[in-house]
Amino acid sequence: MNSPLYIMWLRQLKRYWRSKARIVGSLAQPILFLVALGFGFGPIFQKAGGGSYLEFLAPGIIAMSILFTAMFNGIEIIWDRQFGFLKETLVAPVSRYSIMLGRTLGGATVALIQGIIVFIISLLIGFRPVNLSMILISFIFMFLIAVLFTALGTAIASRLEDMQGFQLIMNFIIMPLFFLSGALFPIESLPEALKIVTKINPLSYGVDGIRACLTGISSLGIFMDFFILLIVSLIILSIGSYLFSKIEI
């Protein structure tokens, strides 16, 4: 296959597998959260009547690893722009939308692989899904999270030329998205103002969807999780495609 979509998708995967340090480094934080928080706060969570904290935490950490990997895929656009590869790509007689879609799907596939690796690690640590038949459905939620935030990272990177600026913006966006998604604590007992914020946060629906599939616990409803995540992903993908098509070279 020689389509630009396939070529860009394959290029993203090759970049990922060639960077062993990137793979190892991106796993350090999820493992730290799973071990330190899962076992550290486990007894407290259990005494409060919440059951196993590791069971509650693991889906949120899987979503976190996908979020971080997907968003930072956007930095490759700035890297390619600085070293001239992006110019060579954009002057080719192919649609910019195809190029952007290929990059997004490639970055989303990388983020999905990262999430699956963290899922396997969580199994080794002691996490146990309640319904094995729902694991494949959880992968669909993981992929939607990956597409959504890879497209968002691409959209932001399309308007920037400075790596430092991109990293600052990413940290400003990523941490609130993660901490206000219900990944670390149940959202049912939050104050009303924070509940509204968590329901606006698209990552909340991804975390809740993965948790519903793997643990059977859902705060928002698995069908609502899917449809809202799908709609927001399509909207952000459209915005990202438009902004990418307007890059000046």
State how far the Cα of 31 lies from the Cα of 53, in Å rounded to an integer.
15
Query: Alpha-carbon distance 53 to 186, whole Å?
Result: 11
Mean pLDDT within 174-197: 88
- How far is 62 from 34, CA to CA, in rounded Å? 10
| Average pLDDT for 106-114 | 89
Give me the count of residues in the chain. 249
Give the N- to C-terminal CA distance of the chain in Å, as an integer.
Answer: 27
Closest by Cα among 61, 71, 68, 21 to 38:
61
pLDDT at 105: 87
pLDDT tens across 63-103, in order? 999 998 888 877 777 777 766 666 666 666 667 787 788 88
